[in-house]
Each structure stands twice: as C-alpha cells, then as structure tokens.
Amino acid sequence: MKFCLDEQMSRRVAEQLRKKGCDAIAITETHLGHRNTPDEAVLSWAILERRALVTYNIHDFAPLMAQMYALGREHWGVILISERSIPQAEIGRQVSALRRLASRYPGQDDLQNITLFLETNEGRR
C-alpha cells in the first residue's frame, strides 16, 4: 500500500513511515505542497499516483467520497482519522497505526474504492 498524507498531517509521519519501509509521501512534499490546496486536487493527485489518502479532514472528505461513489469514480483508498482516536500531535501513534494497516492490507489495490476509519486502542482501557 502506498500512502498520501493530507496537509493536516506532519511530514514527520511520512518520514518515519519511509524509515520503516512504507511507501508514504506527505502532500506538503509534492508540487501541491502549499496550504489550502483544494481537497479535490489532493484526492485527484492521490488517485493519479495510486495512493491511499490519509486525512483528518473528515468533515470535507466524507461528503466528497459519497459524491465519488455516486459518480462511480474509483480511488485507491481513503483513510479517515479522528482527533479523538489518534490526536494529530501523537505522531508515533499515527505511524504505528498506519504500519499496522499497511501490514493488514499490503497490496496496492487492497483498499481500492474503500473508505475506512483508522482507530487505535493504544493507551486506552
């Protein structure tokens, strides 16, 4: 699986994932690297690169994904993260959860046309 991290996510997450053997790039490392890139442009780039998009922007991407399904458009996976399940400041938890997901779905097409929520129970009872 190849990841594209949306602009709310730190480049450090992509860097740490790469150090651990995952194919990951932060959108801020691409030509779309400036802030406030339209969500549609980010998703289009991820689709073009056959990458699963990882985002905290549930508010905007959930309806965008519903629209894509209605139009029959394909994508390579959208992974939504809630601040409540993995806070943005907890880079280590993000990296661990994404590595677990990549080991569960190792193939590039494993999340094709699937939108899922990434959760972790680390540190919870």
- What's the pLDDT tens digit per position in 101-112? 999 999 989 999
CA 36 and chain centroid, separation: 17
Identify whether 124 is part of a domain.
Answer: no
Residue with tokens 């689709």: 47
Closest Cα partner for 107 from 68, 52, 59?
52
Identify whether 114 is part of a domain.
Answer: yes
Identify whether 67 is part of a domain.
Answer: yes
pTM above 0.85, yes or no: yes
Identify whether 14 is part of a domain.
Answer: yes
Identify whether 22 is part of a domain.
Answer: yes
Domain residue limits at 36: 2-49+57-118
Q: What percent of the chain has pLDDT above 70?
A: 94
Identify whether 111 is part of a domain.
Answer: yes
Alpha-helix runs per DSSP H in 1-125? 11-19, 39-48, 58-71, 91-104
- What's the pLDDT tens digit per position in 26-43? 999 988 876 678 899 999
Identify whether 87 is part of a domain.
Answer: yes
Structural domains of the chain, count: 1
Identify whether 34 is part of a domain.
Answer: yes
